[in-house]
Structure 1
Amino acid sequence: MVVYLETDRLLLRRLTTDDLDNLVELDSDPEVMRYLSGGAPTPRERLRDVGLPSMLAYYDRGDDFGYWAVARQEDFLGWVAFRPDRGYGPAAEVDRSGIEVGYRLRRETWGQGYATEACRALIRKGFTELGVQRVYAETMAVNAASRRVLEKSWLRHVETFFPDWPEAIAGAEHGEVHYALTRDEWLSVNR
Structure 2
Amino acid sequence: MGGVDVYLETGRLRLRRFTSADADLLVELDSDPEVMRFLTGQPTPRAEIERVVLPRILKLYDEHPQLGTFAAQQKSDGAFVGWFGLQPTKEPQTVDVGYRLNRVAWGKGFATEGTKALIDKAFGELGMERVVADTMAVNHRSRAVMRRSGLRFVRIVHEHFDDPLPGTEFGEVEYAVDRRTWEAGRRA
CA distance in 2, matches of 1:96, 1:118: 23
RMSD over equivalenced CA pairs, Å = 1.1
**1:10 is aligned to 2:6:** no
1:57 to 31, 56, 59: 59
Letter in structure 2 aligned against 1:50: V
**1:83 is aligned to 2:93:** no
CA distance in 2, matches of 1:5, 1:13: 7
Contact kept in structure 2, 1:4 and 1:63, CA below 8 Å: no
CA distance in 2, matches of 1:183, 1:62: 21
| 1:101 corresponding residue in structure 2 | 97
- Residue 111 (structure 1) shift: 0.7
Structure 1 residues 117-132: aligned runs within 5 Å: 117-132=113-128
1:19 to 15, 19, 22: 22
Where in structure 1 are there 5+ consecutive unaligned residues?
A: 89-94
CA distance in 1, matches of 2:86, 2:161: 24
TM-score after normalising by structure 2: 0.94
Structure 1 residues 20-169: aligned runs within 5 Å: 20-38=23-41, 40-73=42-75, 74-85=78-89, 88=90, 95-169=91-165
Length, aligned pairs only: 182
- Residue 61 (structure 1) shift: 2.8
Per-residue deviation, residues 102-149 of structure 1 (Å, max 9, x unmatched): 100001101101011111001101101111000000100000000000
Letter in structure 2 aligned against 1:101: V
Contact kept in structure 2, 1:27 and 1:33, CA below 8 Å: yes
Per-residue deviation, residues 51-92 of structure 1 (Å, max 9, x unmatched): 01001111113531111000013211101110111xx5xxxx
CA distance in 1, matches of 2:158, 2:93: 24
Percent identical pairs in the alignment equals 48
CA distance in 2, matches of 1:65, 1:72: 21
CA distance in 1, matches of 2:159, 2:64: 32
Letter in structure 1 aligned against 2:186: N
CA distance in 2, matches of 1:63, 1:122: 15
Contact kept in structure 2, 1:82 and 1:100, CA below 8 Å: yes
SS of equivalent to 1:163: coil
Contact kept in structure 2, 1:136 and 1:180, CA below 8 Å: yes
Where in structure 2 are there 5+ consecutive unaligned residues?
A: none
Letter in structure 1 aligned against 2:176: A
- Residue 17 (structure 1) shift: 1.3
CA distance in 2, matches of 1:125, 1:142: 28
CA distance in 2, matches of 1:81, 1:56: 13
